[in-house]
Amino acid sequence: MNLHLINDVPDGLTRRGRTFVSVHGIRVDVRPVAEHRQWWLDREVPPAVIDRMTAFEERWGGLLLPPAPRYDGGPKYFDPDSPEGSPAEGWWFEAGTQRTAVPYSFMIGPGGEFGIHTDRWVPLHATVEGWVESLALAHHAAMWAKQVTKITGDDVDRIALDAYEPVREVRGLADTWWRGTDSLVAIYSGEAEGFSFPRGRTALVYSGLDEWGLRAGVEPQH
């Protein structure tokens, strides 16, 4: 496997996200989607879906980032494969293989969402950029927080978020981040939704943060 330093960080990320990718990311070689195009066309995968996979590969292909705090780290690196779907439902494709043996695949949804596919489709973030921003924020928060508290199951519902604002750059769907006056809260609901097991929710509370810890230079979004 050939490894390459990142010198072409995708646009559309915050300064924190760009720094995270450039400092902590590497690229590995992946097989071009074009090599399989005819094989997928012969199996009635629409050309537009293969074009989406090609665009994903050109933007994200081979990007290997540090592991996520949940989902046993997330995909090892981005490598589009295995399109599936129908004209009625839309089409998904695999975002990259798992780092560890988890009972679901990491997929890109019909609208470009990043999520997991178990017995059902669960979009975690509205875009791939949102997933990358969530990794960057988790890495940053863990570095600067004075304390990290893990909360699971029904206790997640007892977290008082009234005084918090959503962290919009993560484009959260099943998974969300919240910013308070001195803490950040990450709520992970993907596995709970995917397996219809509400008690499987997990939250991580990063407390004791100053302004830099809360935002890392990201301007407030209104």
Residue 185 lies in a domain: yes
Structure tokens at 219: 């301007």
Residue 220 lies in a domain: no
Residue ending a domain, among 131, 161, 187, is: 131
Give 102-159 pLDDT, tens digit per residue: 999 999 999 999 999 998 999 999 999 999 999 999 999 999 999 999 999 999 999 9
Residue 171 lies in a domain: yes
Alpha carbons within 13 angstroms on the beta-carbon side of residue 24 total 18
**Whole-model pTM?**
0.93
Structure tokens at 179: 């910013």
Q: Which residue has the tokens 């129908």?
A: 86
Residue ending a domain, among 110, 131, 152, is: 131
Residue 170 lies in a domain: yes
Judge if 66 and 150 occupy the same domain.
Answer: no
Residue 186 lies in a domain: yes
Judge if 147 and 169 occupy the same domain.
Answer: yes
Tell me the residue length of the chain.
222
* Model confidence at 69: pLDDT above 50: yes
Residue 16 lies in a domain: yes
Judge if 44 and 20 occupy the same domain.
Answer: yes
Judge if 92 and 126 occupy the same domain.
Answer: yes
The pLDDT-based confidence of 6 (bands split at 50, 70, 90) is low
pLDDT of residue 217: 57
Judge if 157 and 88 occupy the same domain.
Answer: no
- Cβ neighbours, 10 Å, residue 178: 19
Percent of the chain with pLDDT over 70: 94
Judge if 126 and 151 occupy the same domain.
Answer: no
Do the Cβ atoms of 112 and 131 come closer than 8 Å? no
* Model confidence at 210: pLDDT above 60: yes
Phi, psi of 172 (to 5 degrees): -70, 140
Largest CA-CA distance found in the chain, in angstroms, rounded? 56
The contacts of residue 136 (CB under 8 Å, 6+ apart) are 13, 14, 16, 17, 19, 20, 21
Judge if 111 and 171 occupy the same domain.
Answer: no
DSSP structure class, residue 168: G
Structure tokens at 125: 């973030």
Residue numbers of the domain that contains 163? 139-215
Judge if 187 and 77 occupy the same domain.
Answer: no
Residue 221 lies in a domain: no
Judge if 123 and 154 occupy the same domain.
Answer: no
Residue 222 lies in a domain: no
Judge if 183 and 207 occupy the same domain.
Answer: yes
Cα of 113 vs its chain's centroid, Å = 9
- Cβ neighbours, 10 Å, residue 4: 12
Judge if 124 and 104 occupy the same domain.
Answer: yes
Judge if 34 and 99 occupy the same domain.
Answer: yes
Domain count, the chain: 2
Residue ending a domain, among 90, 107, 131, is: 131
